[in-house]
Amino acid sequence: MQPRHRAGSERGVALVEFAIVSLFLFSLAMGMVEYGLAYQGQERTLGATRTGVRTAASLGTNVEADYQALASLRADLLASGLLDQIEVISIYKSATTDGQPPTACKATAATTELCNIYTQSQVQNLNKATFSTTTGCSTTTGSVSSRWCPNVRNDNQLTADYIGLYVRIRHTFITRFFGSGMAIDQRSVMRIEPSG
């Protein structure tokens, strides 16, 4: 009688241990999937940011600089499936050694900082006609902030400005096991190519 009782008891313990270990392994697997996708989104956002800032830097003071930079960025984000996850985009004058945008340029509110802030709908519905042919800034009604238009940027050989592009997207978790999602922000900075 005793051996049978012990065998049944050991099977019960094994079942409880299996349940605990499988819960841990499931959590680990879901974490790898969720954060792997977030990392992929981060890398794709960085790639799109680099494409956009490269376009803006090469166009310098051309009135199409912001439009073309946003068009490049939009194409990359669309190809990556991230276009509808945009929270804010900012083209700004970089004045710090680490290239960080001013805090006000990371928000969707008007600011006096030297940056142009664009919303998700402005980028999704990008239209060349909504950019001034004189200044190069957005003329969209309700535009958040246009304080650093292409026509006032410095492209002098010795003192050219550094232009930055900041993008923040909202990555949504699939399983919601670790919350609803996380913000991913990336920035890239380049020196405006001198005109002479």
Q: Is the pLDDT of residue 6 over 60?
A: no
Tell me if 196 is assigned to some domain.
no
Give me the pLDDT at residue 3, please.
56
Residue 8 — very low, low, confident or very high, per pLDDT cuts 50/70/90? low
Residue 113 CB neighbours (<10 A): 19
Give me the pLDDT at residue 7, please.
56
Distance CA 162, CA 57 (A): 8
Percentage with pLDDT > 90 across the chain: 66
Tell me if 56 is assigned to some domain.
yes
Tell me if 63 is assigned to some domain.
yes
Give me the pLDDT at residue 196, please.
57
CA angle 131, 106, 128 (to 5 degrees): 15
Q: Is the pLDDT of residue 25 over 70?
A: yes
Tell me if 128 is assigned to some domain.
yes
Taking only the tens place, the pLDDT of each residue in 93-117 is 999 878 999 999 999 888 889 999 9
Distance CA 122, CA 19 (A): 50
Pair of tokens at residue 14: 């094994």
Q: Which residues does residue 186 pair with via DSSP β-bridges, in sequence order?
A: 167
Tell me if 153 is assigned to some domain.
yes
Q: Number of folded domains in the chain?
A: 1
Tell me if 149 is assigned to some domain.
yes
Give me the pLDDT at residue 17, please.
86
Distance CA 136, CA 147 (A): 11
Distance of alpha carbon 158 from its chain centroid, rounded? 31
Taking only the tens place, the pLDDT of each residue in 169-192 is 999 998 888 888 999 999 999 999
Which has more confidence, 195 or 15?
15
Average pLDDT over residues 138-150: 83
Give me the pLDDT at residue 96, please.
85
Residue 142 — very low, low, confident or very high, per pLDDT cuts 50/70/90? low
Write out the residue range of the structural domain in which residue 101 sits: 2-191
